[in-house]
Amino acid sequence: MDKFGEILHRFGGVNLLPVALAAIAFVLIGAPSSWVTLTVAGLAMGMMVFLMASGLSLVFGLMDVLNFGHSAFISFGAFIAASILAALGGWLDGGVILASAALALALVGAITFGLAAGLFFETVIIRPVYRDHLRQILITMGALIVSEQVILAVWGGTPFTVPRPAFLEGAWIIGDVSIEIYRLFAFALGAVVFLGLMVLLNRTRIGLLIRAGVENREMVEALGFKINRLFIGVFMLGSALAALGGAMWAGYETLITPALGAR
């Protein structure tokens, strides 16, 4: 067993699991064109889930906070982005430049809300219950319920249609392979965010301070660094990523309801 584990470690360990699964799927599906289409679709959906979940992982992994209200940021990000796109509906069919501007404004609007809501959430709701997981669960669940009611009051309970920019509609046909353009965009955006997080946490001074604060908060504070500000920034970043993921998922679904965050 130790020998088997050593071989796995030498050849990539668990990193080989997706490759192995993809190879098995290729054999089972049989048709290469269908395999490529499904693989791209799976990667795109995985990246959108990563955008929504990465913030939760950051907050829990770096701050040890159980935030059961995380899905509220996803829902608000989706509805805010959808509302901006609906308001700028004339831009979506007005050429690539106008459509890109509308999409950028929608994503920036969702991210901005996530940053502001994360600041409020951490300062008012989370800070009083640090290091108390039971109270964290109770108070964040309560905040989630309140958030769902706010969405119902503002946007109503009927499904909300999410328009897409024209240049993200349709699919690219390469031989027998059909790849949806929106899925490629979602995958590319998720990959950029992933690389950005890797660089931030592993290659910057801020990332070093955050990781040091997780290991020994008192020592970092003794060195003169305000660890509270860093943790507020982490929470705001996590909330913004959730809102961005919600905005991307709304564009993928094209029809959203207030129950989006509970799915």
Q: Which helix (DSSP H) or strand (DSSP E) does residue 179 occupy?
A: strand 177-180
Residues whose CB falls within 8 Å of the CB of residue 74, separated by 6 or more in sequence, listed in order: 52, 242, 243, 245, 246, 249, 260, 261
Hunting for tokens 């995380």 — which residue is that? 70
Tell which residue, 243, 254, 256, 253, has the closest CA to residue 116: 243
For the chain, give every domain's residue range: 1-30, 36-262
pTM score: 0.87
Question: Tens-of-pLDDT digits for all 263 residues of the chain?
Answer: 445 455 545 545 556 667 777 778 777 777 787 888 888 888 888 888 998 888 888 788 777 788 888 999 999 999 999 999 999 988 888 788 999 999 999 999 999 999 999 999 989 988 888 878 889 989 999 999 999 899 999 998 888 889 999 889 888 888 778 888 999 999 999 999 999 988 988 888 888 887 777 777 777 777 777 777 888 888 999 999 999 999 999 999 889 988 776 55
In this structure, what token pair is assigned to residue 37?
């289409």
In this structure, what token pair is assigned to residue 165?
């920019």
